[in-house]
Amino acid sequence: MSPLLVRRPAWRHHKGSAPVESEEAVVVEEPLELRLEGQTLTVTLRTPGHDLDLAAGFLLSEGVIDGADDLVALAHVDDPADPRGNTVDVVLAPGLAITRRGKVDRAFFATSACGICGSASVERALRAAPPLPARYQPDPDLVYTLPARLAEAQAHFADSGGLHAAALVNAAGALVLGREDIGRHNAVDKVCGALLRADALPPGPSTLVVSSRLSQELVTKALMAGIPALAGVGAPSSLAIELAQAAGLCLIGFLREGRFNVYA
């Protein structure tokens, strides 16, 4: 059994048959505390695994860091009170901890508020994630192969049915890397964080493929990482389309076997 999954008892019901007791694979969900030089920055729920990638991707998407050079250290905290390893501490380059921590606080406030909508929201997102310097639209024949590439990144989905996945596919149609998590945003942060820690951002002509709908937040995360195309199996929101159009990002929705829609 993968560390991402645990076994839990359940009763399977099928119409016309008596319930059957079984043991089902269930996705692990635990809190991750992210500390900024010893002080709690945020606590998020995630599926354990690739925690350092998740932390780096989160800091990138929130504008706290711009690249790998901004990270001095990133590690799990050796804390007797946290035997499960659910705490990560990050040390930033000198000065960044003070000057950029406020960006995270403001981002959290903006996410929880609903008073800024439409064009104002897109304009603010563009200030955080400027338009892409070069546009890229994957060839339709390549797009048709993306569901299969995403499936390669979903090693544990078939066992549990409870994990989202994000995968980066290059212009040749090859899977660069993939990550799974109970949260779709976490899966994307894990991909972006892995690229950042490998000093591989921006990744050049490539497509970020996700197993979910397409929100403005996911478009913003792709832009912050310099990824020029985003594709998802679900529908895009109106703000996701507006931001993608304004930033020059190729946005593909309803990606299924043999069909897809291009919105930007």
What distance in Å separates the CA atoms of residue 264 and residue 242, rounded to the nearest whole number? 8
Specify the pLDDT at position 144.
97
Is there a catalytic annotation at residue 250? no
Specify the pLDDT at position 106.
47
User: What is the DSSP pairing of strand 250-256 with strand 229-232?
Assistant: parallel
Specify the pLDDT at position 225.
96
Specify the pLDDT at position 119.
54
Express as a percent the part of the chain with pLDDT over 70.
88
Nearest to 51 by CA among 70, 73, 68, 74: 74
The token pair that represents 120 in the structure block: 């104002």
> If you average pLDDT over residues 119-141, what whole number do you get?
81
Selected from 3.10.20.10, 3.40.1410.10, 3.40.50.2000, 3.40.190.10, the CATH number assigned to the domain covering 30-128 reads 3.10.20.10
- Residue 250 — very low, low, confident or very high, per pLDDT cuts 50/70/90? very high
Asked if residue 59 lies in contact with residue 200, where contact means CB atoms within 8 angstroms, the answer is no
The token pair that represents 123 in the structure block: 């304009």
> If you average pLDDT over residues 206-227, what whole number do you get?
95
Of 114, 117, 192, 250, catalytic: 114
What distance in Å separates the CA atoms of residue 196 and residue 53, rounded to the nearest whole number? 8
Kindly write down the DSSP assignment for every residue of 153-221, as one continuous string: T-TTHHHHS--EEEEEEETTS-EEEEEEESSHHHHHHHHHHHHHHTT--S--SEEEEESS-B-HHHHHH
The H-or-E segment that residue 146 falls in is: helix 146-152
Annotate 125-151 with b (16+ C-beta within 10 A) or e (fewer).
beebbeebeeebbbeeebbbebbebbb
Q: Which of the two residues, 82 and 238, has the higher pLDDT score?
A: 238
Instruction: Report domain extents, the chain.
Output: 30-128, 140-262
Specify the pLDDT at position 96.
74
What distance in Å separates the CA atoms of residue 160 and residue 144, rounded to the nearest whole number? 26
Q: Please tell me if the domain spanning 30-128 has the same topology as the one spanning 140-262.
A: no
- Residue 112 — very low, low, confident or very high, per pLDDT cuts 50/70/90? very low
The token pair that represents 205 in the structure block: 């002509």
Q: What is the mean pLDDT of the chain?
A: 88
Edge to edge, the sheet with strand 39-46 lists: 39-46, 30-36, 87-92, 71-76
Give tens-digit pLDDT for 154-210: 988 777 778 999 999 999 999 999 999 999 999 999 999 999 999 999 999 999 999
∠ CA 13-16-20 to the nearest 5 degrees? 35
Specify the pLDDT at position 117.
47
- Residue 147 — very low, low, confident or very high, per pLDDT cuts 50/70/90? very high
Q: Which of the two residues, 131 and 101, has the higher pLDDT score?
A: 131
Nearest to 208 by CA among 239, 244, 248, 176: 176
Give tens-digit pLDDT for 20-68: 999 998 999 999 999 988 888 889 999 999 999 999 999 999 888 989 9
CB-count exposure of residue 54 (10 Å: 0-12, 13-18, 19+): buried
Identity of the amino acid at 22: S
Is CATH 3.40.140.10 the right assignment for the domain spanning 140-262?
yes
Nearest to 28 by CA among 40, 46, 14: 46
Question: Range with the lowest mean pLDDT among 84-93, 124-133, 211-220?
Answer: 124-133
